[in-house]
Amino acid sequence: MAWTWLYENAAGESIGASEAFDQRADAETWIGTAFEDLLEQGVEQVRLLDDGTEVYGPMSLRPE
């Protein structure tokens, strides 16, 4: 399994993806530490993919 984050801008357009993670927990931990940097790069929301299949999303990177 390869867990990746798909990056999207405010319009919901795909603008990139993260590195692949072997474990879901590693991917989720990473997004918790990287979200501020991603926001600075124009990423507004993300989707979690497992071998290309969406698990959940879109998830906003902005605090509620």
In a domain, 35, yes or no: yes
Residue 33 lies in a domain: yes
Residue 8 confidence (pLDDT): 98
Distance CA(59)–CA(46), nearest Å, equals 5
Segments forming the whole domain that contains residue 32: 3-10+21-58
Neighbours of 42 (CB within 10 A): 12
| Residue 15 is assigned to a structural domain of this protein | no
In a domain, 63, yes or no: no
- Would residue 39 count as lying in a domain? yes
Instruction: Please tell me the predicted confidence (pLDDT) of residue 63.
Output: 84
Domain count, the chain: 1
Taking the model in full, what pTM does it have?
A: 0.93
Tens of each residue's pLDDT in the chain, 64 residues: 899 999 999 999 999 999 999 999 999 999 999 999 999 999 999 999 999 999 999 999 998 7
pLDDT of residue 64: 77
In a domain, 16, yes or no: no
